[in-house]
Every structure is written in structure tokens, then in C-alpha cells.
């Protein structure tokens, strides 16, 4: 048609230029950012999917860091527990030495001095070993034995990307004072003279309460033989399971909460009182042959229990290592899938840019031709 007001060829060329410019801008943006999805308009569904995958990957990566931190923490605890195990081994050697009558009072006192220092160091390690300012070996316990309560530390490690994907670690108390046992049989020895004045059994006799026929209560100092006759077999030499106190003041020793098993490393006396009663405690010693033999039995139990606790830490570390490796593997493949959705394919985008550049040049040329073609209409006016 020989019209001037409406140049359809020019309109078609203009629309082609506009559409091509839009495609060219998208290709340039993707090549500039490296992302296929730069706005929701690029791929609305892909944006939602890639965002969810990105959250999953970041959660897995952080959980992997948590796992590695937990491994380092357990390695710290295991290393300190190894030192406690070494101390127990040395204490056992000293107890074996003191159990022989080839050593005198002065010799046993010297042996007990090292024995006591090792016990003190065990307490220091248990109460002062920290990880990231967290005390990890005292079971959340206080360094005293003024109450009957003792707990084990429960640590929750996030080893997954979502809530509830955690691993519970139980770290028992390594504080020797948590092995306290009331009424455990141990001689009271004068470290200077070697004289055995009384045992804990004898101490307890002064607090024995007897019920008279008339209903009255009377305190009587009795010998060990008289006590045995009066109360039967409550006190038995070598039996650490007897207990005459109320449940409220029960022994702190607990296989479930402290790392030394059923070993008794501290002994003490207390009257039958309510909770919170102050208990006078004393570490086991090797000042007499009897005490050394008693210590040997307790140390054997403690060494076995500590070894078992350390083995548990090894199992924790093994599990955490596998958990970390698994999360790393999952994160890698999820990231790979997210990349296919969200990242720009440079081979595709460079081809697209080349195509749109060529089309831009061609469409511009066609627009010029369309405008020039209308010039022929002017010849009709001449």
C-alpha cells in the first residue's frame, strides 16, 4: 500500500528490535552475574526451588561445622581423660607398693603424698578442663560434696539441616569427689606413727541411735563387735553397698553419672539428716596395708570404668565423622542441583548474546530500509 501515516514495515522492525534488545539484556545480565535467575520474572518456580535448596545447603554446611567442632571438643575431653587414666595407673602402682609390709610408716607416708597429689590433679583436670569456656568434665557438678546430687553433662549437637536432627552426648563426671561413699570401710591412720586409731566403721558407731523398749532414744558408743551384734550385717568389711542414711542423703556415687563406675575414691561420714547436710569427706589413702589393698580394689574398678568411658568417646567421634562426611556429600549434590536451576550456562548465554547482537544489527538495517521505502511515495507528488 502506498501510505505514509502507517509504516507497517517500520513497526514490525521496531517491535523486533525491542524484543531482541530485551533478550540481549537478559543474556548480558546473566553473563555479568553468572546467574540464570536474577529476578522472579526470569523463572518464578525456579527461584522458589533454588531458594529452598540454598537454605538446605547452607544448613548442611553449618551442621558440618558443628560436627567438626564437636569432634574437637570430644578429642579435648578424651585427651584429658587419658591423663586421668595415666594418673590412676600410677596411683595403682603406689597402692601395690604400699600394700607390702616391706615398707614402713615413713615410706607409706611418702607414697601417700604422691598418691594424694595425683588425686588432686585428677580433680583439677576434671573441674578446670574447658572447651570454648564450657567446663566439660565435671558433669555440671560443683567441686564440693555438700549435697547428695551429682549429674552428668548432656550435650546436644546439631548434625542436620532441620530441627530435631541432633545427636545427644553424655559426658560423665570425672571429679573424683563424685565417687563419694558414706560408711565405706577405711582405716584412720596416723601418718607419723602408723597407728590405726579407728576406721570409718568405728566413727559411725558414735552416731548409732537405738530404740529402747520404752520408746525413748539413746546415743551409745559401741564397739564394732557390739554394732554387728545389734544391727546384724549392716556393716560388712569390704562391702561398699551398705548404707544407713536416708534416701535424701544417699551416696553421691552413681554408675550412671560419674566416669569411675562403682569405684569409691572418697569416703566420709554424716548423721542421718535431711538434704543439704554437710558431709565430711576424705580421699582414700595408702597409709596402711589394709587401706592400700582397699585402694587397689577401687582403682581397678576406676581404671576399667574410665577406659570404657574413653571407648564411648571414640564411638562418638566415629559417628560424628560419618555424619560429617554424609552431610558434605548431601550438600555437594544438592548444590549441584541448585546450580543447574540458578546458575547461568555460559555456553548457552554467549551463544544467545551473539545471536541477539547479530539480530540487533539486522533489525536496525531493516528499520532503515523500511523508512527509506516510503520515500518512493514522494514521486507520486511530483
CATH number at residue 207: 1.20.1330.10
| Within-domain flag for 288 | yes
The fraction of the chain above a pLDDT of 70, given in percent, is 76
Q: What is the DSSP letter of 102?
A: T
| Within-domain flag for 24 | no
Predicted local confidence at residue 213, as pLDDT: 45
Angle at 131 between CA 128 and CA 136, to 5 degrees: 60
11, 361 Cβ separation under 8 angstroms: no
| Within-domain flag for 135 | yes
Confidence tier at 198 by pLDDT (50, 70, 90)? low
| Within-domain flag for 40 | no
pTM above 0.75, yes or no: no
Confidence tier at 207 by pLDDT (50, 70, 90)? very low
* Side-chain-side CA neighbours of residue 84 (13 Å): 33
Confidence tier at 353 by pLDDT (50, 70, 90)? very high
How far apart are alpha carbons 282 and 264 in whole angstroms? 11
Which residue segment(s) compose the domain that 264 sits in? Answer: 54-329
Predicted local confidence at residue 254, as pLDDT: 64
How far apart are alpha carbons 183 and 239 in whole angstroms? 10
| Within-domain flag for 37 | no
* Alpha-helix runs per DSSP H in the chain: 8-33, 44-98, 105-128, 200-205, 224-231, 289-342, 346-373
| Within-domain flag for 210 | yes
| Within-domain flag for 358 | no
* Across 151-155, 224-228, 281-285, 374-378, least confident range: 224-228
Q: How many domains does the chain have?
A: 1
| Within-domain flag for 266 | yes
Amino acid at each position: 500500500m502506498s501510505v505514509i501515516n502507517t509504516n507497517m514495515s517500520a513497526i514490525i522492525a521496531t517491535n523486533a528490535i525491542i524484543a531482541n534488545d530485551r533478550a540481549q539484556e537478559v543474556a548480558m545480565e546473566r553473563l555479568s552475574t553468572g546467574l540464570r535467575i536474577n529476578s522472579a520474572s526470569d523463572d518464578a518456580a525456579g527461584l522458589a526451588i533454588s531458594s529452598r535448596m540454598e537454605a538446605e545447603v547452607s544448613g548442611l554446611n553449618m551442621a558440618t561445622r558443628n560436627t567438626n567442632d564437636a569432634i574437637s571438643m570430644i578429642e579435648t575431653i578424651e585427651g584429658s581423660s587419658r591423663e586421668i587414666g595415666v594418673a590412676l595407673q600410677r596411683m595403682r602402682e603406689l597402692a601395690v607398693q604400699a600394700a607390702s609390709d616391706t615398707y614402713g610408716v615413713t615410706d607409706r607416708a611418702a607414697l601417700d603424698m604422691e598418691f594424694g597429689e595425683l588425686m588432686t590433679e585428677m580433680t583439677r583436670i576434671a573441674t578446670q578442663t574447658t572447651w570454648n569456656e564450657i567446663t566439660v568434665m565435671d558433669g555440671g557438678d560443683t567441686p564440693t560434696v555438700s549435697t547428695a546430687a551429682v549429674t552428668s553433662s548432656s550435650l546436644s549437637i546439631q548434625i542436620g539441616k532441620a530441627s530435631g536432627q541432633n545427636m545427644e552426648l553424655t559426658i560423665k563426671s570425672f571429679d573424683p569427689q563424685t565417687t563419694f561413699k558414706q560408711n565405706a570401710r577405711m582405716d584412720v591412720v596416723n601418718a607419723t606413727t602408723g597407728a590405726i586409731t579407728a576406721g570409718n566403721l568405728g566413727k559411725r558407731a558414735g552416731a548409732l541411735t537405738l530404740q529402747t523398749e520404752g520408746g525413748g532414744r539413746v546415743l551409745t558408743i559401741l564397739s564394732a563387735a557390739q554394732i554387728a551384734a545389734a544391727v546384724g550385717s549392716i556393716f560388712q568389711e569390704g562391702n561398699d553397698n551398705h548404707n544407713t542414711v536416708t534416701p535424701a542423703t544417699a551416696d553421691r556415687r552413681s554408675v550412671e553419672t560419674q566416669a569411675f563406675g562403682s569405684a569409691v575414691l572418697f569416703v566420709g561420714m554424716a548423721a542421718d539428716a535431711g538434704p543439704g547436710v554437710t558431709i565430711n569427706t576424705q580421699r582414700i589413702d595408702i597409709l596402711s596395708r589394709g587401706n592400700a589393698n582397699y585402694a587397689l580394689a577401687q582403682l581397678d574398678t576406676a581404671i576399667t570404668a574410665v577406659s570404657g568411658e574413653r571407648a564411648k568417646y571414640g564411638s562418638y567421634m566415629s559417628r560424628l565423622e560419618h555424619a560429617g562426611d554424609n552431610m558434605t556429600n548431601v550438600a555437594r549434590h544438592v548444590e549441584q542441583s541448585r546450580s543447574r536451576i540458578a546458575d547461568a550456562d555460559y555456553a548457552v548465554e554467549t551463544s544467545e548474546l551473539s545471536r541477539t547482537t547479530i539480530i540487533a544489527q539486522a533489525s536496525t538495517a531493516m528499520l532503515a530500509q523500511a523508512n527509506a521505502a516510503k520515500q518512493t511515495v514522494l514521486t507520486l507528488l511530483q
